[in-house]
């Protein structure tokens, strides 16, 4: 069983913000796997797919970014998910806009949603896909930037990055090792 989590904020006002790249990408993963977000459980919006007889749970926590770990911990406990079958997709200010980077494990870096997941679960040895959002042309505090809307001229760049992140997540859910997913999708 796999748990694919996209981080973001649930209200409409955040829909097109940089901080919702995880929500968008997990939506793309759900589409690639033929799943729809139809139900709510464990403080999350959930979609389910079956791939090769294996259940895949796609998740958008409804706890807001800074408390994402609450929903992730509940779902991991409910479905007995091992860390290597958890994948988290999120925005990353430390990567240039439109780049994706996949890792098998790591720290939270500057990301509060990841801090929450690591803090709640006590784990950092789970795969993650980061969608780069940094724009060298914009010089405002990070908190203001991540909650601002993607500029129209950048929309296609981020839509493409989220689609690629969603494809990588779907590949992982199909049983491809994280090392092979990294080899295929990490951008130089």
Q: What confidence tens digit (pLDDT) does each residue in 91-138 have? A: 999 899 999 999 999 999 889 999 999 999 999 999 999 999 998 887
Task: Give the three-state DSSP class for 50.
Answer: strand
Catalytic (active site) residue 111: no
Q: What confidence tens digit (pLDDT) does each residue in 15-73 have? A: 999 999 999 999 999 999 999 999 999 999 999 999 989 999 999 999 999 999 999 99
Backbone angle region of 96, left / alpha / beta, with phi > 0 → left and psi within -120 to 50 → alpha: beta
Catalytic residue among 7, 18, 19, 91: 19
Backbone angle region of 38, left / alpha / beta, with phi > 0 → left and psi within -120 to 50 → alpha: alpha
Backbone angle region of 34, left / alpha / beta, with phi > 0 → left and psi within -120 to 50 → alpha: left
pLDDT of residue 139: 82
pLDDT of residue 37: 97
Max CA distance (Å), the chain:
48
**Integer Cα distance of 178 and 171 in angstroms:** 9
CATH number given to 2-185: 3.40.50.1470
- Residue 133, token pair as written in the block: 């959002």
Q: What confidence tens digit (pLDDT) does each residue in 68-97 have? A: 999 999 999 999 999 999 999 999 998 999
* pTM for the whole structure: 0.95
Of 26, 9, 18, 33, the residue nearest 138 (C-alpha): 18
pLDDT of residue 188: 63
């Amino acid at each position: 069983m796999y748990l694919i989590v996209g981080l973001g904020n649930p209200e409409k006002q955040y829909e097109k913000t940089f901080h919702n790249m995880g929500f968008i990408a997990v939506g793309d993963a759900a589409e690639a796997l033929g799943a729809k977000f139809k139900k709510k459980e464990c403080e999350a919006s959930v979609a389910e797919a079956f791939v090769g007889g294996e259940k895949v749970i796609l998740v958008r926590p409804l706890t807001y970014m800074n408390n994402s770990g609450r929903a992730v911990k509940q779902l991991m406990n409910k479905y007995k998910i091992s860390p290597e079958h958890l994948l988290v997709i999120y925005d990353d200010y430390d990567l240039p806009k439109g780049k994706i980077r996949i890792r098998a494990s790591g720290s939270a870096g500057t990301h509060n949603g990841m801090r929450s997941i690591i803090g709640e679960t006590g784990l950092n040895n789970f795969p993650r896909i980061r969608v780069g959002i940094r724009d060298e042309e914009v010089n405002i505090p990070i908190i203001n930037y991540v909650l601002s809307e993607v500029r129209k001229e950048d929309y296609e760049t981020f839509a493409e990055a989220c689609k690629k992140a969603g494809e990588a997540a779907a590949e992982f859910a199909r049983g491809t090792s994280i090392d092979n997913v990294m080899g295929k999708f990490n951008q130089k």
